[in-house]
Structure 1
Amino acid sequence: MKEGNGRITKGDELYPFFTCELGGGMMTSYHRRVYVYPQDAYSLAIVKLGSGSNLLGYYMYHGGTNPEGHAYLNEMQRTPYTNWNDLPVKTYDFQAPLGEFGQKNPHYYILRKLHLFMHDYGETLASMDASFPQADKPQTKGIDSYLRWSYRQKDNSAFVFVNNYERLQNITDKKGVQFEVCGVKFPQKKMIVPAGTCCIFPVNIDGIQYATAQIVAKRDGKIYLEQIAGIPTEIAVDGKVLRNVRAKGLVSPIYRNIYLLTSAEAENLFLPEEEKYRVQSSIPVSFHKKQDAGLLRKITIGVAGVAEEPVDADFEQAAIYRIDVPSEKGLLSIKYQGDCARLYADGKLLADNFYNGREFLYGLWRLPQGVKQLELRILPMQADEPVYFPREADTTPGEKVIACVLYD
């Protein structure tokens, strides 16, 4: 069966929302190569808070690596305690906000806005009850006939939670939107909520009657709001209504103690300069192919009724590449195409990867001293594998290394 541009086996299903813990990532299993987008994690967190949760809890906020042991510690169908998904032997990255090697992924920054909000407004939010104006509407996957929103309220104050995003669904702009919460109707003229929008609006919070901007933080008497892309900022305060307000960042307030930030400024708010989001520079790393792949392995179906991951012996038939270790000890990125890959140093397994269209990463600072060359083994992509691949993955049969680069 086909879904989008990916492959999906009979009986598998892509869910519109993750079943993982709030705001975290999703581990790529052998039979289902999930590709997490930043908005997946963010929208889930918005929905959870707007539904009454008071805790931003994570299963994996920082990805990890399975430690050395007497036996493999990876989850697999062949063991009685974890017999559902086959996971990699070494990597436990989980596409988390902080990656396996400490790298800051895009959703690390986008989630910071909620972390700041919960730090500064969590006590206020915790005592608020949740209300669901759209509870009588259809709640099934892909429904696009109305805007999904809720609010948390206590006394005369509230936070309005808006989610116009659903994973892998073509959610459209919502026209003619106007909220009425705590007797406050806003904005003054009905607005359009663009597709993909997830945000939190304040109602009677810290002197702000309402704002069509996301409330982010309050520190040292200053209130920080985020301007939401595609939504004109309207703020009612001190009996006035400020319309079409433009973000001025941290340079100056838009009104008294209220600062309006762009999304990028909100995501980097209070971070030291060296920790703010930036595009990493990279240098090429030399590699060459040593051996073509041998016989294709037979992909078996395990006790959970899904494809089983390869075992050690299968990699004897893998294509083999040699990678020269650069003198700098940065983050090695291997851009490849194939079913799955393993990285070795002097015969020892260092890392492994189930291909889903993203890079295979390894922190070279973990290498034992004196290692000059790495061995990369790739099992080729097979035709009609009983595996779900996302649209970002190249499912052409075969294998190849596209590039190896070192990030600073």
Structure 2
Amino acid sequence: MTSRWLERAGRPWLPITGEIHYHRLPRERWSEVLGKARAGGLDTVATYVMWQVHEPQPGEFCWDGDRDLRAFIQLAATHELDVLVRMGPWSHGEARYGGFPDWLVALGLPMRTNDPAYLDLVRTLYSETIAQLAGLTHGDRGPVVAVQIENELYDQPHHLATLRTIAEELGLHVPIWTATGWGGAQVPQTLLPVYSAYADGFWEDSATEWPEFAASHFRYSQVRDDLSVGKDLRETLDGIVLEPGAVPLRDDAALPFATCELGGGMHVAYHRRPLVRPDDVAALALAKIGSGSTWQGYYMYAGGTQRRGPNGTEQESHATGYPNDVPTRTYDFHAPIGEHGQVREHYHQLRRQHLWLQADGPAIATMQAVVGGGSEDPGELRWAVRADGERGYLFLSTYQPARRPLAAQAGVQLTIDFDDATITAPTRPIDIPAGVSMAWPLRYPLTESLTLRSATAQLVTRISDDDGEIVVVSASGGIPVELAFDGDVSVAGTGVTSIGGTAAGGTIVTVDTPGPEAVIELPGVRILVLDESTADRLYRLELGGRDRLVLSDAPIYTRDRELVLHTDSAVTLSFLPAPGALSSVEASVSGTGDHLGLWRRWRIEPQVAGRHRLLSDLTPAGWSVPELRRGGSMNRLSAPTDFSAAARVRVDVPDGLFEGADRVLVQVAWTGDIARAVVGADVVSDHFWHGRVWDIDVTAQRQQIREHGLVLEFLPWHAGAGIWVDPAVRDVPEGVVIDAVDLIQVARVGLAPMG
């Protein structure tokens, strides 16, 4: 590790990490989620080791089933993913007592300190955990490359240092040791501080329209800290109050800018239910790269389900003195990969960024960020340059979430100084519409003798086929694509709209209609100019012994030399370069690789997949508004626990629709307060309404549904309760309205390449 970036095998490394909790996922779904994570561009996954999960009773450690940390790490390695183990002892993660088991809390020890009795128990936990990691660390050529100590501990640097010492004394040795640095945390020099950035937070008060620090994460800035994340726990559980200006916001310029919790979405609490949108996630992530991030880490990257333990469900709640009541079962987080494997729009938007970081990450890691503009003034152009003296990227943004949108910017043109040249980009002033963010290459080397001086398009990836190398770029925000090259360049191809020159010399190519067939032919290289929607369908996967680009509307990944897709409908796949043929047992494959420019495509029709309407247009009666209660350490609204006055809807789930499906989801489009799905006496799912549909995975409940049926219980929306929901969805009727209940059959299709 240098003072500015991480290195691996002597080469700069820009990790891309996503949080996935093995113990909140059914073990049989691990491979699918890890496969999607790898296909989404991750090279590392992070996971909490929660004490309550593994030692529910004193001295009784459990590492079986979906608690098998070792098996999860080994499986991650088969998907070519490294692992960062967040080994506590305290985790938070919206878990009961922050992940501490009840028996530990009952002892009344000074926890999260160097109290000898507490450290003795921690030493046992660490010893058991480290035994699970034996032979799996980087030094043993394994996937575990990093460990995080504790979480969100602000004022105990000696304790953090002691925890690392204990772990090392017990035999754990990894290249990277981290600790969370936000909230003005005092992190010892033996740990790398890592940071967070969220577009919104459920932990804020219901009177807060937008968290104080949220806007800063959409600006380019050298400041890494955020005093609002976890403030509720810091103040009510730890007694630490940090008023704005009370501590300096740290930039830690002597250390790499590393993140571990860029908001991949946002959880909800009963009193406050954010509606973080896909564009929020993508724009925030890109802003951090423009600000100098050398480690992109997301929380959560894949959602999950809250566990049940000896004392019931293990979610954060008022019952255990925490400030917030969160759902008892769902921990979906509206992550890029949902609780039940659903893939969201921001999964694709982030994948496009990750493909770029995979292609040019070693160079980007060493580039320094310089903020050119972007104060709190919403009228100022927000821009930054990340460069190494010879080349770089120009970052521009007019994006901020809908509650405080930014205006368009007219006549944008900037001059950037390099060590040996000055670049004006774009070559002519352009108008940037509102609500977009992008990173455009400057002096990007296409070949040894050909340089892309500037572009109004984003680099995505580069790949080779039998005819040579292809550089893939994508249009940005509806802005016409302009590519400026040094020198007089021979240009041809289907994507060229016009060719011209500049006053400074060079060749300019414009492309008015980007898409999968827009190809610019240059000496020694071709440029494929995609439109944004096509770029969001683009995967880069190893298949049949070589890297290929794949266009797909359904989530795909590779496993055991197969291409695997999960879909509820027919899918068209396009490949570049293409295999000779495709075969499948679970689907019919039509076409023989019809040509679309450089691509060849096939249509895949699963044997079992589809969407079936079960109910619609219901306004159930029989409910009453529950009495409002408050509780927890901040006296916030408490979630109702009495469903005796709930509206009940029985859903008849045809048993035959389970047959042959890999997953069966019941999807509910509704408005109200909170709801839960009950099979017999078992609550299998719950949902605090916040403007999105409710997905219930009933795959494992087939037999129970056959015996008991599926009952949905709804409590009514009451605007006077004071619950915060996004302004875009606040105007809903009182009571309960069910627009639709659908059953979705999701197929798993394996495709084997031939030839």
The normalised TM-score by structure 1 is 0.89
Deviation for aligned residue 1:248: 4.7
Superposed, which structure 2 residues align to 1:211-360 within 5 Å? 211-220=455-464, 221-239=469-487, 240-251=506-517, 253-256=519-522, 257-270=526-539, 272=550, 276=554, 282-286=611-615, 292-294=622-624, 296-311=626-641, 314-326=642-654, 327-329=656-658, 330-360=664-694
Deviation for aligned residue 1:392: 2.0
Shift in alpha-carbon separation, 1:303–1:248, aligned structure 2, 3 A: closer
Map of 2:383 onto structure 1? 149
Which has the larger displacement, 280-289 or 302-311?
280-289
Residue 298 of structure 2: SS of its match in structure 1? Answer: coil
Deviation for aligned residue 1:144: 2.1
Pairwise CA RMSD? 2.4
Cα distance in 1, alignment partners of residues 730 and 695 from structure 2 = 16
The C-alpha deviation readout for 1:97-145, integer Å capped at 9, x for no partner, is: 11111011111111111110111111010001110112xx632xxx321
Shift in alpha-carbon separation, 1:215–1:247, aligned structure 2, 3 A: farther
- 1:74 is aligned to 2:315: yes
Cα distance in 1, alignment partners of residues 697 and 301 from structure 2 = 18
Map of 1:163 onto structure 2? 397
Residue 133 of structure 1: SS of its match in structure 2? Answer: strand
Deviation for aligned residue 1:246: 3.1
Cα distance in 2, alignment partners of residues 305 and 179 from structure 1 = 51
Deviation for aligned residue 1:370: 4.7
- 1:375 is aligned to 2:711: yes
Larger radius of gyration: 2
1:65–1:92: 8 Å Cα contact kept in structure 2? yes
Map of 2:452 onto structure 1? 208
Cα distance in 2, alignment partners of residues 197 and 116 from structure 1 = 19
Deviation for aligned residue 1:393: 4.4
- 1:172 is aligned to 2:407: yes
Map of 2:734 onto structure 1? 397
Residue 161 of structure 1: SS of its match in structure 2? Answer: strand
Cα distance in 1, alignment partners of residues 302 and 483 from structure 2 = 37
Shift in alpha-carbon separation, 1:23–1:156, aligned structure 2, 3 A: farther
2:628–2:637: 8 Å Cα contact kept in structure 1? no
Match of 1:56 among 296, 310, 325: 296
Map of 1:4 onto structure 2? none
Match of 1:126 among 359, 365, 386: 365
Map of 2:438 onto structure 1? 199
Shift in alpha-carbon separation, 1:383–1:230, aligned structure 2, 3 A: closer
Deviation for aligned residue 1:23: 4.8
1:355–1:393: 8 Å Cα contact kept in structure 2? no
Residue 303 of structure 1: SS of its match in structure 2? Answer: coil
- 1:189 is aligned to 2:428: yes
Shift in alpha-carbon separation, 1:304–1:216, aligned structure 2, 3 A: same
1:63–1:94: 8 Å Cα contact kept in structure 2? yes
2:330–2:687: 8 Å Cα contact kept in structure 1? yes
Shift in alpha-carbon separation, 1:173–1:394, aligned structure 2, 3 A: same
Which has the larger displacement, 391-400 or 206-215?
391-400
Shift in alpha-carbon separation, 1:175–1:289, aligned structure 2, 3 A: closer
Cα distance in 2, alignment partners of residues 203 and 121 from structure 1 = 13
Deviation for aligned residue 1:396: 2.4
The C-alpha deviation readout for 1:12-64, integer Å capped at 9, x for no partner, is: 23134475922511111111111121110011001111111112211111110
Shift in alpha-carbon separation, 1:47–1:290, aligned structure 2, 3 A: closer
Which has the larger displacement, 370-379 or 302-311?
302-311
Which has the larger displacement, 332-341 or 221-230?
221-230
- 1:105 is aligned to 2:350: no
Match of 1:386 among 698, 722, 732: 722
1:290–1:322: 8 Å Cα contact kept in structure 2? no
Cα distance in 1, alignment partners of residues 719 and 731 from structure 2 = 12
Cα distance in 2, alignment partners of residues 216 and 279 from structure 1 = 28
Map of 1:114 onto structure 2? 353
AA partner of residue 411 (structure 2): G
Cα distance in 2, alignment partners of residues 341 and 358 from structure 1 = 13
Which has the larger displacement, 113-122 or 63-72?
63-72
Cα distance in 2, alignment partners of residues 237 and 255 from structure 1 = 13
Residue 384 of structure 1: SS of its match in structure 2? Answer: helix
1:213–1:233: 8 Å Cα contact kept in structure 2? yes
AA partner of residue 36 (structure 1): V
Long gaps (5+) in structure 1: 1-7
Determine which structure has greater relative contact order: mean sequence separation of CA pairs < 8 Å that are 6+ residues apart, divided by chain length: 1
The C-alpha deviation readout for 1:238-290, integer Å capped at 9, x for no partner, is: 42332431345343522322111011221122364555479966320148888
Shift in alpha-carbon separation, 1:177–1:398, aligned structure 2, 3 A: same
Cα distance in 1, alignment partners of residues 741 and 354 from structure 2 = 35
Cα distance in 2, alignment partners of residues 324 and 156 from structure 1 = 65
**Count of aligned pairs:** 392
The normalised TM-score by structure 2 is 0.49
1:63–1:93: 8 Å Cα contact kept in structure 2? yes
Residue 320 of structure 1: SS of its match in structure 2? Answer: strand
AA partner of residue 404 (structure 1): V
1:9–1:386: 8 Å Cα contact kept in structure 2? no
- 1:46 is aligned to 2:286: yes
Shift in alpha-carbon separation, 1:201–1:148, aligned structure 2, 3 A: same
AA partner of residue 633 (structure 2): V
Map of 1:3 onto structure 2? none
The C-alpha deviation readout for 1:338-368, integer Å capped at 9, x for no partner, is: 1100001012000000001211111221314
Long gaps (5+) in structure 2: 1-203, 218-228, 230-259, 446-450, 488-505, 541-549, 556-566, 570-609, 659-663, 746-755
Superposed, which structure 2 residues align to 1:17-28 within 5 Å? 17=215, 21-28=261-268
Shift in alpha-carbon separation, 1:13–1:74, aligned structure 2, 3 A: same
2:305–2:330: 8 Å Cα contact kept in structure 1? yes
Shift in alpha-carbon separation, 1:273–1:113, aligned structure 2, 3 A: closer
